């Protein structure tokens, strides 16, 4: 689904964005209740939006006078936060809307947790191969595999490890495997595909 088509649908649905209507969190709650820092982090991380801080700041500034109730209001805030000369690559609000949708539906964290659980379930020398087609998905897979290397995250001045880091194996390919030129000629959709492989080690 293209960015403009997705925005058109969200405009019909309003500031909701829930895939599961039984859940509590909505897009309206995110834009009206999250702090400026939280909004900036979400928009930057999940939307990869370079103007995340400006958008978050203007959202908070706007809601001081009134609650943000419609997607039209939110779109206007976003458009006013991005220089017109940089509003050339699709709809200026698409990255922010993507970020809010991912936050509302918790789309990335379950993937990260699933990769961790899959690694734990592997037999000795067993390998987990994961192909992603989106940078955010790839980032979650990469983080899960890196965290499974067992690197201690405790401050260097701690006398002993308290973070519980446990080495579960090794990453086979340091950099993701991508499609070759020949493969791309046969299937151009493979251009964004990235393959990462983790091998389980049981002592």
Same domain, 90 and 113: no
125: domain CATH number? 3.40.50.150
Q: Which residue has the higher pLDDT, 156 or 93?
A: 93
Total number of domains constituting the chain: 2
Domain boundary among 105, 130, 162: 105
Same domain, 119 and 99: no
How many alpha carbons fall within 13 Å on the CB side of residue 183? 9
Q: What is the pLDDT of residues 28-78, one digit of tens each?
A: 999 999 999 999 999 999 999 999 999 999 999 999 999 999 999 999 999
Flag whether pLDDT at 134 surpasses 80. Answer: yes
C-alpha distances in angstroms, 170 versus 23, 130, 198? 37, 14, 6
Strand-pair partners of 127: 199
65: domain CATH number? 1.10.150.170
Domain boundary among 88, 105, 122: 105
- What is the distance between the alpha carbons of residues 2 and 138, in angstroms, rounded to a whole number? 20
Return the exposure string of 71-89: e unless at least 16 CB atoms fall within 10 Å of the residue's CB, then b. bebbbebbeebbeeeeeee
Same domain, 38 and 95: yes
Q: Which structural domain, as residue segments, surrounds residue 132? A: 109-200
CB distance 97 to 31 below 8 Å: no
Same domain, 97 and 121: no
Domain boundary among 71, 90, 105: 105
Task: Report pLDDT for 145.
Answer: 96
- Residue 124, C-beta contacts closer than 8 angstroms, at least 6 positions apart: 200, 201, 202
- What is the distance between the alpha carbons of residues 119 and 166, in angstroms, rounded to a whole number? 12
Same domain, 117 and 69: no
């Amino acid at each position: 689904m293209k960015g403009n088509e997705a925005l058109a649908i969200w405009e019909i649905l309003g500031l909701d964005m829930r895939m599961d209507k039984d859940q509590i969190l909505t897009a309206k709650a995110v834009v009206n209740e999250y702090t400026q820092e939280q909004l900036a982090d979400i928009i930057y991380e999940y939307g990869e939006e370079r103007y995340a801080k400006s958008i978050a700041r203007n959202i908070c500034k706007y809601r001081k006078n009134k609650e943000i109730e419609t997607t039209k209001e939110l779109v206007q805030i976003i458009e006013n936060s991005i220089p017109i000369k940089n509003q050339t690559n699709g709809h200026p609000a698409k990255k922010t809307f993507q970020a809010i949708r991912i936050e509302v539906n918790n789309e990335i964290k379950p993937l990260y947790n699933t990769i961790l659980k899959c690694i734990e379930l592997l037999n000795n020398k067993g390998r987990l191969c994961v192909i992603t087609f989106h940078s955010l998905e790839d980032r979650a897979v990469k983080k899960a595999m890196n965290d499974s290397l067992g690197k201690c995250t405790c401050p260097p001045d701690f006398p002993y490890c308290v973070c519980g880091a446990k080495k579960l194996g090794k990453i086979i390919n340091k950099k993701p495997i991508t499609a070759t030129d020949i493969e791309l000629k046969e299937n151009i959709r493979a251009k964004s595909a990235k393959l990462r492989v983790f091998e389980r080690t049981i002592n």
